[in-house]
Amino acid sequence: MSTLTSARNTLARDGVDFTYPVAASTKIYAGSMVTLSATGFARGGAAGGTKAAGIAVETVDNSSGADGAVLVKVKRGVFAFNNSAAADLIDLGDVGAVCYVVDDETVALTDATGTRVAAGKVADVETVGSGTVVWVDFR
């Protein structure tokens, strides 16, 4: 390709809202963490995902569909998730560290010896009621 010789109308996105095809036999709930498989199909949480995409904006049901039969809207940003427990508990000292997907609503401090997908970076840790929530930056 050669360099431009006139103005170009370059397409742009806000970098926040995306749509992905959903994996076969999958139901994703609104507000759940979404991961993408190696082939790019969306799944809820850690179920066969290889990379985190953000949170589901809506509930989608592809329980009886083939790969890509439905699409899910996903939002990137900073979102609150449940904190893991014991050695995987995330605390305020972990702000800035990478955290990992346990399930579609929980994150942990470690990758469990390479078995967990990175969710994003810990942005904050807050006490809410009798537990803590971890604010995860998916950008």
pLDDT at 95: 97
Q: Report the number of distinct structural domains present in the chain.
A: 2
Does 96 map to a domain? yes
The verdict on 85 and 117 lying in the same domain is yes
The verdict on 70 and 85 lying in the same domain is no
pTM of the complete model: 0.86
The verdict on 85 and 56 lying in the same domain is no
pLDDT at 86: 86
Does 132 map to a domain? yes
Q: Which of 75, 93, 122 is the last residue of a domain?
A: 75
pLDDT at 50: 85
The verdict on 55 and 84 lying in the same domain is no
Instruction: State which residues form the domain around 63.
Output: 17-75
pLDDT at 48: 66
Paired strand residues for 21: 71
Does 4 map to a domain? no
pLDDT at 132: 87
pLDDT at 55: 97
User: Per-residue pLDDT for the chain (139 aa), expressed as one digit of tens each?
Assistant: 789 999 999 988 888 999 999 999 999 999 999 999 999 999 998 766 789 999 999 999 999 999 999 999 999 999 999 999 888 999 999 999 999 999 999 999 999 998 899 999 999 999 877 788 999 999 8
